[in-house]
Amino acid sequence: MLTKHTYFAPALAAVAIAVSGATAIAASGPEAKVGLADAKAISVAEVSPTVARFHRTIRVVKRRIEVERRARIRKEREQLYASLPAGATPDTLESIALCESGGDPTAVSSDGSYRGKYQFDYGTWESVGGSGDPAAAPEDEQDYRAALLYSQSGSSPWPICG
């Protein structure tokens, strides 16, 4: 990858040599022959500020992309949780999920009786309108069913994590 300093500086120097050669061709007319001997060598010290600026630009762009990604995720999350039943907040559900399953929607307890992001058992899952295996349900459905359960029973279904 050319962004690595050890590769980028020689590549940039080669470009600078090619540009100076092209300048010499343009200055001497279309019939002139220019060889490698006509190229001017430049020191790495001349290229270093350009390389440093390039790397700084990459870091700045990377930070901006990360900030935009986080803002997009936050907006999507707010839209998803805007329709949650009363009493359940995104932060509450997130803390329960992290405690119960590490936030993994496919998690299954060691004995197999608790399943999904919120570690539902089948009876509780069905009591809030779920069907099938909670661990196989889409994550947004698990979030919605957990919010329903939280609005009905508070944190009591999750005695340790609620």
pLDDT digits (tens, 9 = 90+) for 43-92: 777 778 888 899 999 999 999 999 999 999 888 877 766 767 777 888 88
Amino acid (one-letter) located at 152: Q
Domain termination residue (choose one: 80, 99, 131) = 80
Domain count, the chain: 2
pTM: 0.52
**Within-domain flag for 35:** yes
Are 47 and 106 contained in the same domain? Answer: no
Higher-pLDDT residue of 19 and 63 is 63
Higher-pLDDT residue of 12 and 61 is 61
C-alpha 151/C-alpha 67 separation (Å) is 33
Domain termination residue (choose one: 21, 51, 80) = 80
Range of the structural domain that residue 141 is part of:
90-153
**Within-domain flag for 162:** no
**Within-domain flag for 129:** yes
